[in-house]
């Protein structure tokens, strides 16, 4: 087992420049792995529910950008993401990866 750290960035469609964030993680920081997840519903601290309701005029669905790398790298990248892209909701935790 190899020790890494996982981070999740929570945002909404249209709220953050997703392509630029993915480019930053891939091209600039060269993290080991990144996945973009589009949720069908969710709410945060405000309590405002974001969903795929047919009554909604605009889609502001929750997005999760999940990435992992060595623990020290992830801990260095998180403040850069906050500053560069004004991201407010980032969580992280240690993980073990079962690599062949």
- The pTM (predicted TM-score) of the whole model is 0.84
First-to-last CA distance in the chain?
9
Q: In the structure encoding, which two tokens stand for residue 5, read together?
A: 């750290």
pLDDT of residue 54: 56
pLDDT of residue 100: 78
Question: Phi and psi dihedrals of 68, rounded to 5?
Answer: -140, 155
pLDDT in tens, 15-59: 889 999 999 999 999 999 999 998 877 777 778 777 766 555 556
Spatial distance between the Cα atoms of 49 and 52, rounded to a whole number of angstroms: 10
Q: Taking the domains of the chain in order of start, what are their residue ranges? A: 2-97
Burial (CB count within 10 angstroms: exposed 0-12, middle 13-18, buried 19+), residue 93: exposed
> CB–CB of 4/32 below 8 Å?
yes
Class of domain 2-97: alpha beta
> CB–CB of 2/97 below 8 Å?
yes
């Amino acid at each position: 087992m190899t020790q890494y750290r996982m981070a999740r960035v929570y945002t909404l469609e249209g709220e953050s420049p997703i392509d630029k964030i993915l480019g930053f993680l891939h091209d600039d920081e060269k993290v080991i792995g990144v996945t973009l997840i589009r949720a069908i519903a969710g709410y945060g601290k405000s309590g405002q529910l974001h969903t795929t309701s047919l009554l909604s005029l605009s889609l502001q669905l929750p997005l999760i950008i999940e990435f992992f790398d060595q623990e020290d790298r992830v801990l260095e990248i998180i403040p850069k993401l906050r500053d560069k892209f004004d991201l407010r909701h980032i969580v992280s935790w240690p993980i073990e990866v079962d690599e062949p």
